[in-house]
Structure 1
């Protein structure tokens, strides 16, 4: 049974972490602003599955074992940077075909999943942050990890949904129907934003 003295600090820490700008937040805002809230929700589903995978790995001790070797962390970090840069190039290239069909649901889901799996900070959370809230006196540490991790998923979903809705509304308010040139400029701005997120990830997650 988790106590209030254990839960409240954890929920506060999770909220602060999720509200801190990062790859997930940036990509969700870009997709929702570019393709609307439905596309954003699809990415949220992919991101959430990625977090759930890290949670399961944490329960079985796999995440901690993997991050014991620095080269694993660096591989994740640079793969994430490369992936975000690829998304930036792909978004810039697609700006010329702004009137084309919207991205497929499967593609958006997989992008959200891969983006989160290649984010080393997600793994670090379950290795370094979450275990600090496990109390030996409460018993059943595996159950505590599973419970706290599930709460993290709930909080992250709520915050990600808010990001998607705000980005989608802001985009709708700033655009005019039929303004193709403006839409092209906006999509290229999103491409630049993705590149900036990649650079931020490379710098901020360096050990």
Structure 2
């Protein structure tokens, strides 16, 4: 296995702005580090499930049956629209306070579902990861290991974003600003929903 080459490729991909990066930064700015960490945990779990499914070859179904991937994309879009609606109406001036457990759980679920229903993440494991697999070993084991490596790298990048955004949040925590940030988060969720629909129709 080409660990170094794969790690470098994953790092480049993770440093490219995308839905996860934008959402996690906006979430941390609007709701703080605790919300961001919960979301990162959900994202990591969603990516891990994708990696396991890919190592088992199940994500090949997305290639064999494109309609399946299309409906998964639509389901992801509907979910993000629902959360965007709730985030818009839940935004308040007191968002700088400690989040209740139910809110933290919601961010975890969004992060998990966002990546579990992300067809392009599954296709990444299916198409990119095998390029770094050695023909001399078990492809199943190697794909699984590289999948976990990609999850670790993605999680580290996400944690850096969370702590950076949480630090910046202290300077932005002024009357009116936190509410605007929270509502910007809901708009961003709508953008992610649009990204899901675009991916499903592509």
Q: TM-score under structure 2 normalisation?
A: 0.88
Misfit runs of 4+, over 4 Å: 96-101
Find the residue that maps to 1:62 and give its secondary structure.
Answer: coil
The superposition leaves residues 54-80 of structure 1 with CA deviations (integer Å, 9 ceiling, x where unpaired) of 111112111112432111111122222
Match of 2:109 in 1: 110
Find the residue that maps to 2:17 and give its secondary structure.
Answer: coil
Match of 1:193 in 2: 188
d(CA) in 1 for partners of 2:113, 2:186: 18
d(CA) in 1 for partners of 2:79, 2:17: 18
Unmatched tracts of structure 2, length 5 or more: none
Q: Which residue of 168, 171, 180 maps to 2:169? A: 171
Q: How many residue pairs end up in the alignment?
A: 199
Contact 1:23 1:198 in 2 (8 A): no
d(CA) in 2 for partners of 1:74, 1:97: 38
| 2:75 is the alignment partner of 1:76 | no
| 2:145 is the alignment partner of 1:147 | yes
Q: Deviation at 1:101? A: 6.5
Please give the root-mean-square deviation of Cα atoms over the aligned residues, in Å: 2.0
Contact 1:89 1:191 in 2 (8 A): yes
Q: Deviation at 1:113? A: 0.8
Q: TM-score under structure 1 normalisation?
A: 0.86
d(CA) in 2 for partners of 1:69, 1:161: 35
Unmatched tracts of structure 1, length 5 or more: none
